[in-house]
Amino acid sequence: MVKRKTKYVCQECGYESAKWMGKCPGCNSWNTLVEEIEASSTTSKHTVNGGMKNLSKPEKITAIQSQKEPRITTSMMELNRVLGGGIVPGSLVLVGGDPGIGKSTLLLQISSQLADKQLPVLYISGEESTRQTKLRADRLGVTSNLLYVLSETNLFDIAKHINEIQPSFVVVDSIQTIFREEVSSAPGSVSQVRESTSELMKIAKTSGIPIFIVGHVTKEGAIAGPRMLEHMVDAVLYFEGERHHMYRILRGVKNRFGSTNEMGIFEMKEEGLKEVMNPSEIFLEERSQGAAGSTVVASMEGTRPVLVEIQALISPTSFGNPRRMATGVDSSRVPLLMAVLEKRVGLMLQNQDAYIKVAGGVKLDEPAIDLAIAVSIASSFRDQATLPEDIFIGEVGLTGEIRRVSRIEQRVQEAAKLGFKRVICPMKNLDGWTVPQNIQVVGVNTVQEALDTGLAR
Ligand code: TYD
Ligand code: MG
């Protein structure tokens, strides 16, 4: 095999050098030189000569045939939804997450399910021997004939095996263990990870085989982590959850073939991951009904409404500055909502500590949860519980007004499905849709009105 030349390029200013240096002579920054494979000029398409045969041509957009991407649907509906309807042939998907969260388990399960559908699958592990993979497979009850496992880290050999087997689906676990011979730095370094990924991208695009790569997120941050790969791949899925919690959330953060911010929920069991079809039920399972400081909100996670409990604990500050802590919601929303409650409702919150928590370990990121947070805070402060069958939806503005939210009908339907009796929502959201049976909808214009309705007694 011909050894291709590499060069070192400064990531800050683009300075090129044949040798590695600690300090870039171009911009004087430290540790920014990264090894890259030099593109040989003979294979480059972008030479300025007339002799190019396959020159791409601009086309009229109306003349391009639009075709629906055929997708490989897995047996996991949660995964299909996060991917935007299934696996797109020729796509390169990065599955990131903390070590030990269950990435290998998830991908081995998907591999076996696809193999059961008579699609040959190649599962490449650079971390485990084939025997270790087999142990895991036994635990998961995998008995597929068409599932090939390979323990290999050299990308050149991996490419050869993909070419030989011609699988319908490939998993590379993990990208941090894969290396290319041409690059001299160690596996897991920025150069190796990047060059290997771009080679896998090429394989996926030319062969049409979808490839899923695993990337560990390092606590230290972006170095050699999947972050730097995000712009290179077609889709990025993050697998999150608390190690000691059984629930795992698969979240799309980038998707060239579908919407992002979709979320799939799984439960880690003894015999592998199981889909959670109705997340609202599990998030409300341990709710302490009738306790002050607890409210339920219907939040949209992608296209799906999820009901989640929001808890607040307000207690007098003992020393100095009051504390404002939030888990699961944007921590800058809490002081803002407390200021609104103080100024517009007249609650004396300035010498109170506030702790806000979203139960179940989910992260909520949309303005429609404002009202539920505000009502929880007021409820805990006044030590007065909300009704257990009430739901609060609405964005809170700085003048204390309740602003319109999106997809109110779906949210209310989900609430009705789970047996809630009353929805307190923005007045401006009341028109143009039909209220489901068995649930009452109350429109409010201000936070004060919401508290009068929800905390009346
Ligand atoms: P793993 O898939 O190896 O994590 P990652 O590839 O992200 O590093 O998952 C490891 C954890 O999952 C480990 O703590 C054991 C647990 N586990 C189960 O609870 N049930 C199972 O069936 C399997 C295979 C793993
Ligand atoms: Mg693993």
Query: pLDDT of 384-443, one tens digit each?
Result: 999 999 999 999 999 999 999 999 999 999 899 888 999 999 999 999 899 998 899 999
Averaged confidence pLDDT in the chain? 88
Substitution candidate for ligand 1 out of 218, 268, 273, 274 with most atoms within 8 A of CB: 268
Ligand minimally distant from the alpha carbon of residue 101 = 1
For 367-383, what is the mean pLDDT?
96
DSSP characters over 346-370: ----TTEEEEEEEGGG----SGGGH
pLDDT of residue 223: 39
Cα–Cα distances (Å) from 412 to 276, 370, 385, in that order, read: 21, 17, 22
Gap between the Cα atoms of 287 and 277, Å rounded? 19
pLDDT of residue 226: 55
Q: For residue 52, give every residue at least 6 positions away whose Cβ sits within 8 Å of its Cβ, in sequence order, or none.
A: 45
222 compared with 105, residue with greater pLDDT:
105
Ligand minimally distant from the alpha carbon of residue 105 = 1
Looking at 289-430, list the stretches that DSSP marks H as alpha helix, in order from N- to C-terminal side. 333-340, 370-382, 408-417
pLDDT at 69 over 90: no
Domains 77-277 and 282-454 share a fold: no
* Domain segments of the chain as ranges: 6-37, 77-277, 282-454
DSSP characters over 218-231: BTTBSTTSGGGGTT
Substitution candidate for ligand 1 out of 98, 104, 105 with most atoms within 8 A of CB: 105
pLDDT of residue 106: 95
In this structure, of 5-14, 215-224, 264-273, 334-343, the range with the lowest mean pLDDT score is: 215-224
Amino acid at 245: H
pLDDT at 220 over 60: no
pLDDT of residue 322: 92
CA of 272, closest atom in ligand 1: 22
pLDDT at 154 over 50: yes
pLDDT of residue 2: 54
Ligand 1 contacts (CB < 6 A) are 97, 99-105, 136, 139-140, 268, 270-272
Looking at domain 77-277, its CATH class is alpha beta
pLDDT at 29 over 60: yes
Kindly report the CATH number that applies to the domain delimited by 282-454: 3.30.230.10
Residue owning the nearest CA to atom 18 of ligand 1: 270
pLDDT at 337 over 80: yes
Are the beta carbons of 402 and 426 closer than 8 angstroms? yes
Q: For residue 139, give every residue at least 6 positions away whose Cβ sits within 8 Å of its Cβ, in sequence order, or none.
A: 270, 271, 272
Gap between the Cα atoms of 115 and 333, Å rounded? 47
CA of 98, closest atom in ligand 1: 7
17 compared with 40, residue with greater pLDDT:
17
Amino acid at 306: V
Name the percent of the chain lying above pLDDT 90. 55
